[in-house]
Amino acid sequence: MSPDAPARTLRLLIEYDGTDFAGWQRQVGQRTVQQCLEEAFVAMTGQHLHVQGAGRTDAGVHADGQVASVEVVSHIPALGFLRGLNSHLPRDIAVLDVTDMPAGFDARRSARGKIYRYRIWNHPIRSPRQARHAWHVFAPLDVHAMRSAASILVGEHDFRAFRASDCERKTTVRLLRRFDVDRQGAIITCEVEGTAFLKNMVRILVGTLVAVGHGKMTPDDVRTLLSSGDRTRAGMTAPAHGLTLVSVIY
């Protein structure tokens, strides 16, 4: 590190396949996305840096557009970081873009929203090609009913019925800007955009839509569930591997 190197804030756009990671956040004895990125920075700069992600994706969750910020003292240009980091990263992570940002930019605190996509393989026969990135639901799903239920969830609501039992957020009120459910062949895609999400919220929302699609719940039941806040009446937590963080909104 040159003594006159400038202090900079970098914004990273990152894609990864979450299958073989124990999530985003560094954990002792576990392989995580944050750990791999921080080790790549050590290899490039010799500096032990903190890479701040916009969202802490769980084990098995993927990302098309995770964003991270890092403060570094270096003359290396952004393009040099892009090439260098990718040369030190494993095959299941790629940095797609590196941009210099104004001081104070923080990938998590500066974010104004996120978009998540959940994929379901709705077919009697499993698909080996979809197995790592879609939940196999073999019984037919009523997509029209799922869409109706999803529309009820759009807006500002108390989503305490759709959070993990160990979620520690002080408030459970969240705003969903949209919640789209589409089908192309055997693939059902649930895409949700919101200002922020509770722990496991998207996966529980999808699990609830699947219960509606199977006729175990009705859209009116979902409306009642929102009012009751009773997690035990919601659907299961959908498997992590069907979920992808699509993009972060600033």
pLDDT of residue 156: 97
Structural domains of the chain, with CATH: 7-101 (3.30.70.580), 113-249 (3.30.70.660)
DSSP state at residue 243: E
> Do residues 31 and 22 touch, judged by C-beta distance below 8 A?
yes
pLDDT of residue 165: 74
Q: What angle is formed at CA 71 by the lines to CA 66 and CA 73, rounded to 5 degrees?
A: 135
Which residues touch 148 (CB under 8 Å, ≥6 apart)? 212, 219
The helix or strand, by DSSP H or E, that contains position 241, with its residue range, turns out to be none
- List of E strands, the chain: 7-16, 52-53, 62-73, 93-101, 113-121, 135-136, 155-158, 173-184, 187-194, 243-249
pLDDT of residue 168: 63
**Bridge pairing between strands 62-73 and 243-249:** parallel
Q: Which residues are catalytic?
A: 58
pLDDT of residue 107: 98
Structure tokens at 118: 């959940």
140 phi and psi angles, rounded to 5 deg: -60, 140
pLDDT of residue 2: 58
Cα maximum dimension of the chain: 66
pLDDT profile of the chain (250 residues), mean per 10: 81 99 96 98 96 96 99 96 98 98 96 98 98 98 98 97 80 96 98 96 98 97 93 95 98
